[in-house]
Structures are given as structure tokens and as C-alpha cells.
Amino acid sequence: MQLPIFERWQTILRPDVQAFLATHSQTPIDKVALLKPKFPDVPFPEVLEQLDSLRKVGEKMPAWAGRQGLLLPSLAFQQASSEATALFKNNLVRGEKVADLTGGLGVDSFYLAQTCRQVFHVEASPDLQAITKHNFAVLGQENVTFCAEIAESFLERYTQNNESFDAFYIDPARRGKEGQKLVLLQDYSPNVVALLPAMLELAPHVWLKTSPLLDISQAIETLGKVAEVFVLAHKQEVKELLFHLTPSPALPTVHAVSLEKNHTFSYSISEEASSLPTYSEPLRFLYEPLPALMKAGAFKVFATRYGLAKLHPHTHLYTSQDLQTNLPARIFEIKGIYPYKKNALPTQKANITTRNFRDSVAQIRQKLRIAEGGEQYIFATTLPAGEQVLILTEKM
């Protein structure tokens, strides 16, 4: 008879299993999977999951690295927030009484508990919550109340009891039963659109985490109560979107946050709509906004705020004759502008980026026989008159 999930995971804490994990900490997972385990009464898939997560915990959750006794199921660990994003959120989500309605492995709950007096960890899977409760005991995090139930029943119970909260945090599942990615907010589980009235009845603040792939404008229209949107990027990659919802918001403000650079670019939706940038042929310097700004849609306001010209209404690259520094962008010096044809470029090796261009990077490399790498950067893009060109640059 197979042990319940939490009991199976607890067997990983046995000294012989811990020794096995330590011995094979650097052995490729596929090779470890072929080994004949010396402990047949311990489920080997969970051992492999634990080994995989232990190798990643130092990068994703430095504060948890090296803590003996943690249990880290692979899927739950992959889906959890990173320490970088969780730390940022614990400076936003404040209050005496806060509930994480989709607790999971508890990374966000853990950091919310650093600044909030009482945190409720609500999780539909009793087994996953048992693992999280075990981990919090190991970490010494005590001001968390565990509720093994779905978000809907939790909200219904507190509505009936007429109890209020300072804030709710919710990170709904974005994959269907067959593993397919869900695009619409209404399809998320739980359905955050349907739950929003109940959440705002119990708390003045709701914080919704979504996939970075979600269309921000469409989400604002669907939710209708958005006060702010935070686009969180780390190490040149947008990690998540965070929507701040309140009962009576003004026009939404969007914040493009580059976590590793500790930089935030904020603007209002109306400011972007009213901005009138100038357009220009490439001048001496070229600017590529950081990923957070690109996702945030700060296309026109970025140009007007920093006194830059755009290359084309649909080309989100910017230029200036005089160098502009201290702005959230990669900066390049232009070395030449070339037509898109064979043998036009004076180099056979470069990094290539496309912006508003007809061919992909792979197609460009194949057509021009340009090897990857080196110190030079090629931007394949469209100029104000519609001409498609290759801009050869060097990074500042």
C-alpha cells in the first residue's frame, strides 16, 4: 500500500537518504535516475525531485539555501515566486492581517510574514500545505495560520463571519487540467474575476500575480478595479505581473521594475496616450529599453521623458546625438547603418536583435552568414520612412 504524499516526502529526511543526496549533489540527474537505490522503501521519484530542487534553491531562494530538513517538491518549487520578487512584494503588501489565497509552497507567505503580524496560508492541496507547514517549522516562521481549503470557501466563511482583512494576495493557476496555458483571467483557477467582489468586500487591497504573458491593457479592462500594475523583471527577464486592486481606483499607474538594478519607471496610462515623441533616423547613440519597460508598454513616454527620438512608431528603439545616461536602457554607440543584403556588413560575427523587422534572428544569420557572439551588436529594424536596415553598434 502506497504511503500518503506527505508521508512519502518525509522519508527523504532519513539520514541515509540525506547522505545519498549529499553524495550525488553534483551528479547529473539523468545518471542519478539510473542508479539502483539502496533504500527500496523510499520513493525514488521524490528523491530525484528533491535533488533537482536543492540544486536550484541557492539561486531562486538564497535565504532557504543550506537549511537542513526542507522538503521541495519539484513542480511546486518551480511554480513558486523567487526570493527577488517575493522580497519586493513584501514591501507592498502590508497590514496586520493578510491572506495568501493560493499559498502553494509558501514563498510569498513566508516573506509576507516578515512584515505582517498575521498571515493566512490558504491552499487547496492538504499534502502541499502539510509540506509547507513542515518547512515553515524548519525555518522558524510562526505567525502563519494554515487553512487547507480552496479560496472560495475561505472567502465565504469569513464573509459569513463578517471578518475583515487588510489585504489579499492571490496567484491563480494558469494551466488547465491538460497542462495547457490559460490566456484569459476568467479561466484561471480560482477565477479571480468572479472572486474579486468578495475579496474587495473583505479587504481594501487585493494583490494579483499573473503570468508575464498576460496582456496588461486587456487585464485592466477585464478587472476594472486596477489602481497599479507592477511589471517585475529580474536578470533581463520579466518574471511576473502584479496588479493592485482597490474598491475605487483612479486611472491606473504602471511601474516597470528592474529588480537587480533597483530601478522603477512609473507612468500613467493617460501619460502614455498623450505623449508625442519625435522620430528620427539613427543618430550617434541607440537605446534599447530594459525588458520591464518593453512589457509595460512605456513606448512613447520613454522617448519624451528622456528627450530621445524613436526610429519608427512601431520600432521601440531610440536615438540621440548626445549621450544620455542614467536611464533604464542598454546603450549602444552606432558604428554604421547597412542595407539588408549579403556582404553589406563589415563583420562576420555579432549579436543580433530584431525590432519591427520582417525576418527572425535565425533567418538573418542564415542569409548573411553572421556567426553568434563577439563585441558588436546588430539591430535589424525599420526606420521612419519604412526602410528596413541593419544598425551595427557597440555596447557602451
- For residues 120-143, average pLDDT: 96
Q: What pLDDT digit, counting tens, does each position of 192-218 carry?
A: 999 999 999 999 999 999 999 899 999
C-alpha distances (whole Å) from 77 to each of 89, 143, 212, 323 are 18, 22, 18, 43
| Residue with more model confidence, 197 or 184 | 197
Contact 392/375 with Cβ under 8 angstroms? no
At the topology level of CATH, where does 80-250 sit? Rossmann fold (3.40.50)
Counting every residue, how long is the chain?
396
Dihedral angle at the C-alpha atoms of 286, 287, 291, 295, nearest 10 degrees?
-100
User: Is residue 183 very low, low, confident or very high in pLDDT (cuts 50, 70, 90)?
Assistant: confident
User: Is residue 381 very low, low, confident or very high in pLDDT (cuts 50, 70, 90)?
Assistant: very high
Rounded CA separation 31/33 (Å): 5
CATH code of the region 5-77:
1.10.10
- pLDDT number for residue 1: 42
Domain map (residue ranges) of the chain: 5-77, 80-250, 274-395
pTM of the model: 0.92
CA 391 to mean position of chain CA atoms: 31
Q: What is the CA radius of gyration of the chain?
A: 25
* Mean pLDDT score across all residues of the chain: 93
Q: What pLDDT digit, counting tens, does each position of 296-342 carry?
A: 999 999 999 999 999 999 999 999 999 999 999 999 999 999 999 99
- pLDDT number for residue 38: 78
